[in-house]
Structure 1
C-alpha cells in the first residue's frame, strides 16, 4: 500500500509575521539546536547512521513493527532499499540505527526533506523500535533526535516560506499517535484508504470529446510530472516534484495499469493515473489489489469527466489481469470532490491514518 494520498486545496500555515514587518526567516522559525539529542546508550543500544547495507536487516525490523502494529500492509525489501535513493539525501546526518550488543538492528529513524518544496518546506519523520525493545523510552529519545534534526534541516534550506515537520500514524497505532503528540506534533489531516471489488460491474465512462486515453510510457513521463505539478499546485500538502524525486521510489510501479489523458489536437498530457502493484500486501489483506498512486487532471481540463474515465479504464485493466480489488487513498478533507467520486464508483474505506505536524 502506498503512503501517497490524493489531496485537496486548502490553506496552509503562514510564516510568522506582524503587519509592516518582514516574515521571520525559516532559520529563526525552525529554532534549530546546535546539537541534536542523540539517544542514550543506557538502553543497551549503540547509535550510528544507516547505510544501504542495512536494507535487509531494516526490512526485517520494519516488518516486525508493522506486524506488532497490525498494519494492513508490509514494506518490501525493494521499498526499504529505495529509502536510500536520491542524491538530495544525507544518510550520514539524517538517519539513525540503534544496534544491540549482538549487532542486531533494534531501532531506526530517518528524516527526509523533499527537494522541490517551494510553498511549504517539509520534513518527514519515519522510524520505529523493535516491539521486543519497546517500553524502555527508546522511542521518545529517537523521536526527539528526529525533531531536532528536522529543525536543522528546515533551517538549512534557507527557504523563507512556511515550514512543516510531519509524521504519519495509523488509526490503530495508538501508542505511536501518543508518542507524536508527546513530542509536540498535532493532528492536522486524516487520510483514508478505500477499496472496491472488481467482480462487481464496472462503470462505462469513456473519455470526453477531444480527449483520448493512452497507456503510460516512459517517453511521456516527464510531461506527466509537469502535469502533476500543475494539477496539484493548489492542493493541501502537495509540493512540486523535481525530475529526480519523481522518478524515485518506483519499485512497485505498475506501468501496465497506468494511463495518461491526452488532448487529441495538441497531444499534450491533460490528466494521468499512476498505479502500483504491492504484492507483499495481498496475503495480509486476503486478496489481490491494484493501487492508484496518483490521479490528477490539469485545472483547465477539469469537470469534463476525465478523472472518472481514467479511473474506470484503469480498473478495467487491473481486472483483466485477474486482480480482485482496486484501492486508492484520499484526503478526507479533500475539497476537489475526490472522496465523492470514489464513493460514487463503489469505493469504501477500510483504513485510516493521520498526519501529525509541527507547523513553523
Structure 2
C-alpha cells in the first residue's frame, strides 16, 4: 500500500513575503526621491512616453489614461510610489507597486517603473527596482491573505537588455507569454468578416450601461479558469474607462435562462446566483472594446482594440465568442479603423488563440510576465 503524505500547508504570507522592515535607500544619480502626486501627471506622462519611444514599445499613453492610474481608488501614491527628481526639478525616474483588491486565490503585487534614457547606466534603475521589490513584499505581507502570492512584472519582447537583467538578478523568471494580434480590415471584399449569430435563443446586443454589472459577473465566471486571473470588484471593472468605446462593445444575453439549473450548478458564483434570483439579465458573453487614439501614430493607422472577450463556461460552444468578435470587427471597420487588435495569453485554455487565427488574426509583437512565486 502506498502511503499518501499529507500536503504541508504554506507558511504564513508574512513569512513567505520576507518583507524588510525598512525600505532600501536610493542614492544613485544624485536624485531627490519622493512619492508621486497627481500634480506630477504632465511630467510623468512625458517621461513614460519618452521611455516608450526609446525602448520601441508599441504604444503611447494619454493624459486621461495616466490620471486613471493615479486616481484608482485602491492606489496609495503616498506609500506605494516614488519618483526621482534632478537638480532642475525634472522627473528622471519613477516606480510604483500595485496590488488588486479583488485577488482571492492568489495575492499579487505588480512592479512598474522606468528610468529616463539619458540617465541610464548610473545605477538608478538597480536601486529603484530594489525599492519596488521591497515595497511589494511589504504589501503582500500586510495583505493578510493566506493564499499563494506572486511578485510580477511585464516586459515587452523588445525590452532593453539591462532591464531584463534587473529582473533576472532579482530572481524573477518568465512564466507566461502574450501575443499582440492584429487583423487587417482594409479589404473586406478579399477578406470578408464572418457572418455569425449566436445560437437560437441568445441575443446579441450593444453593451448598454444597464448591462455593465451583468457583464462584470459574466467576466468573473468566464475567467475563473484562466491562468493568472482573479475576480474583479465593481470598482476594478469600472476603472480604466478613458479609452472605453461603447459603440464597439457588445454582449450576448440569454433572455430565458434555466435559472433552476444554473442555481443548482456548483460553479455558479454567489453574485450571479443573487442576480438570477432577482431576475437580472444574464449576460453570457461580452466584447469590451477600447479606442487607443494615442497609439494610432505608433502603428501608422487607426485600429480598434478588443480589450476583453469572454464567455460564461456554461455557454461555450454556442458561437457566442465568434459572434461577439465578428460584431466588434464589423463595428471597427464601419468606423474607419484599418485593423482590429487584441492581446492573448499564448497558453489560453479556452482555445482563443486558435479562434483568432481562424478569423485572420496574426501576431504583431509580444510580451512576457516575469514572476517570483511565494
Into which bin does the TM-score normalised by the smaller protein fall?
over 0.9
Q: Name the residue aligned to 2:106.
A: 120
1: CA distance, partners of 2:93 / 2:160 = 19
Deviates more, 1:347-356 or 1:261-270: 261-270
1: CA distance, partners of 2:294 / 2:312 = 33
1:30 pairs with 7, 11, 17, which one? 17
For these two proteins, the number of residue pairs brought into alignment is: 342
- Higher Cα Rg: structure 1 or 2? 2
Decide whether the 8 Å contact of 1:85 with 1:248 is kept in 2. no
Structure with a larger share of its residues in helix: 2
1:143 pairs with 129, 132, 136, which one? 129
Structure 2 length-normalised TM: 0.90
Decide whether the 8 Å contact of 2:55 with 2:160 is kept in 1. no
Q: Name the residue aligned to 2:263.
A: none
Higher RCO (CA < 8 A, seq sep 6+): 1
Q: Name the residue aligned to 1:10.
A: none
1: CA distance, partners of 2:221 / 2:25 = 40
How far off is 1:20 after superposition? Answer: 5.8
Q: How does 1:220-239 map to 2 (within 5 A)?
A: 220-239=211-230
Structure 1 length-normalised TM: 0.93
SS of 2:29's partner is coil
How far off is 1:87 after superposition? Answer: 2.4
2:237 pairs with 221, 229, 246, which one? 246
Any unmatched runs of 5+ in structure 2?
Answer: 258-280
Q: Name the residue aligned to 1:356.
A: 370
1:207-228 residue CA offsets vs partner (Å, 9 max, x unmatched): 2111111001111111111110
2:175 pairs with 188, 192, 204, which one? 188
Cα distance, 1:21–1:348 mapped onto 2, change above 3 Å: closer
Q: Name the residue aligned to 1:287.
A: 301
RMSD of Structure 2 on Structure 1 (CA): 1.1
Following TM superposition, where does structure 1 have runs of at least 4 consecutive aligned residues deviating by more than 3 angstroms? Answer: 18-22
1:99-152 residue CA offsets vs partner (Å, 9 max, x unmatched): 000110000001000000001100111110000000111111111000000000
SS of 2:155's partner is strand
SS of 2:108's partner is strand
Q: Does 1:209 align with 2:196?
A: no
